Structure 1
Amino acid sequence: MAYKTIGFIPLRKNSKGIPGKNKKKLLGRPLFTWVLTEAIFSKLDEIYVFTDDEYIIEYINANFRWTNKVKALKRSEENASDTASTEAAMMEFSNDHNIDFDVFCLLQATSPLTTRKDINEALDKQKLDKLDAVLSVVKTHRFIWSNEGRALNYDYKKRPRRQDFKGLLIENGAIYCTSKNALLKSKNRLSGQIGLIEMDEDTLTEIDSETDWLLIEQLLVNKFKTDKSSRRINYLILDVDGVFTDGRVHFSSEGELSKVFDMRDGMGLEILRQHGVQVIVMTSEQSEVVAKRMAKLQIEDVFLGVKDKYSLLSHLCSQRKIVPQEIAYVGDDINDWSNMLRVGWSFCPANATKTIKYHADMVLNNNSASGAIRETSEFIINYNLRFNDL
């Protein structure tokens, strides 16, 4: 019999600390999609998003059709209230849905720094060590005190140096794995023989306030920028509105009529492809005008109606064995933000939004629909010359 592991991401529509928290955009993506995407590319066999929010259910159904691992299920109002526990949602899922599994992995959307590596480590530890449950922790080197003024984890009369202090392990609330038998018997995320996996100290922060949000956002930005490295650019990914076009569109009562494109951009892309760079177009809009223009430019990789560009790019990288560092990306607004941070080179037109201009590797001299793509193409051709002898 196959050994089956499932991921479980409980989400509530309402949130007191940050209204609409799970849908709020972190680096241009809804918060819940960060842990969901990592779960998809982990060893988990299936992932269930359990929510009372119809918007999230529709979002998942529309944007994760490229994988059969994700399913969105309706959560009852009773178990989505401010007073309802996560365990109550876990038991509702287990009792009301006839889903077989060996290991149940609870993942929290408020821990967006969780990676597929962390999830895999928890799954492996539980299976190899034959444990009932595994949870994620971080090691902190903070000195802990009680309300009564007692030092709890060190002797303040002999204050240790940081390098000599073993520290303290603290739950970070990111990952909880439990066997099916242990869950159904205890009705708790943790029971029986429990093991630990240690995650990076940065993951101690969970998003419960606006301050937490800003901190996590900066940690993600720093992580992506640290991972950047120089490689030959083999792929160019382009947004459409605000990159190919000036962002404006002509409408009539029948709908979209026209957009303005720059012919020089088309020539630039033709020359770029002659230099061995593959062009991919990724836009959040479903546009017949765009589809026809891309067909005219003979660009085959065109993805329309993509709201979560980061997860789609993750899928393409996995499917085609692409390394993000060999990708250049041109975007102009926050829905391009996370992808622009993760790739080898990011560009934006001179008239891009302020946030994108701040984080792009290069702000182009030309505006969108006025030579920005041509300028990018010429840069890539010249940049790739340094790799010709490698």
Structure 2
Amino acid sequence: MTFLDSDNGAHDIQTRAAAIRLAVFDVDGVMTDGRLYLDAHGGEIKTMHVRDGLGLKRLQAAGIEIAVISGRPSEAVARRMAELGIERVHLACQDKAGALAGIRDALGLAPRDIAVMGDDLPDLALADSLTGGPGLLLAVADAVVELRRAADWISAAPGGAGAVREACELLIGARAAGRS
């Protein structure tokens, strides 16, 4: 895990992470390695790290809501999110900011209550759609440079290789430390 800035920055990240009530994840490049695997019939195969799945289950158990917002459709992603008990899944979403606003309003959250994890420019735009920015902007290690520069925290692992698990552990650990 990479905390940006100094030790004081790491403390600030921990404090802000402890207040997160909703974690929003992109799919391609965050939960997957970002590559598209296509078969001869136009079918798509996604690979996801099993440790990320456990991290998401642990995040739910810690009382943090999860939302998945992706611009691409995927039956495989829909199935995997259902297996994990994640209900707020927006696939083939052409208005990510609108989807996030709807979730935020339904849960009665402020932008500071939300963490957004992404890998590419649409995820930066999604975070920018929150007035004042999200509580935390999280990036995978192999995110585009613009997102890494704007991020509050960057995983050590690239997308699809445990980055989501690292983000989950950050939020879970900060919440547990905030209660003690």
TM-score by length of 1: 0.40
CA–CA distance in structure 2, aligned partners of residues 336 and 255 of structure 1: 26
Once the two structures are superposed, residues 256-287 of structure 1 have per-residue CA deviations (whole angstroms, 9 ceiling, x without a partner) of 33111000000111111111111111100111
CA–CA distance in structure 2, aligned partners of residues 382 and 291 of structure 1: 28
What displacement does 1:383 show? 1.4
Q: Does 1:273 align with 2:64?
A: no
Q: 2:163 maps to what in 1?
A: 372
- Matched-pair contact (CA < 8 Å) for 2:46–2:76: yes
* Equivalent position to 1:324, from 111, 119, 123: 111
Q: 2:142 maps to what in 1?
A: 351
CA RMSD of aligned residues (A): 1.7
What displacement does 1:232 show? 1.0
Alignment of 1:161-172 (within 5 A): none
Instruction: Tell me the SS of whatever aligns to 1:369.
Output: coil
What displacement does 1:350 show? 0.5
CA–CA distance in structure 1, aligned partners of residues 127 and 152 of structure 2: 8
Alignment of 1:187-226 (within 5 A): none
What letter corresponds to residue 169 of structure 2 in structure 1? E
Q: Does 1:291 align with 2:82?
A: no
What letter corresponds to residue 62 of structure 2 in structure 1? H
What displacement does 1:293 show? 1.4
The structure whose Rg is larger is 1
- Matched-pair contact (CA < 8 Å) for 1:331–1:340: no
* Equivalent position to 1:247, from 14, 19, 34: 34
CA–CA distance in structure 1, aligned partners of residues 161 and 77 of structure 2: 17
What displacement does 1:386 show? 4.4
TM-score by length of 2: 0.83
Bigger RCO of structures 1 and 2 (CA < 8 A, at least 6 apart): 2
CA–CA distance in structure 1, aligned partners of residues 93 and 55 of structure 2: 25
Is the helix fraction higher in 1 or 2? Answer: 2
What letter corresponds to residue 317 of structure 1 in structure 2? R
CA–CA distance in structure 2, aligned partners of residues 261 and 384 of structure 1: 26
Q: 2:11 maps to what in 1?
A: none
Q: 2:49 maps to what in 1?
A: 262
Is the strand fraction higher in 1 or 2? Answer: 1
Q: Does 1:333 align with 2:120?
A: yes
CA–CA distance in structure 2, aligned partners of residues 385 and 337 of structure 1: 28
The percent of aligned pairs where both chains have the same amino acid is 33
Q: 1:384 maps to what in 2?
A: 175
5+ residue gaps, structure 1: 1-228
Q: 2:89 maps to what in 1?
A: 302
What letter corresponds to residue 134 of structure 2 in structure 1? V
Once the two structures are superposed, residues 152-199 of structure 1 have per-residue CA deviations (whole angstroms, 9 ceiling, x without a partner) of xxxxxxxxxxxxxxxxxxxxxxxxxxxxxxxxxxxxxxxxxxxxxxxx
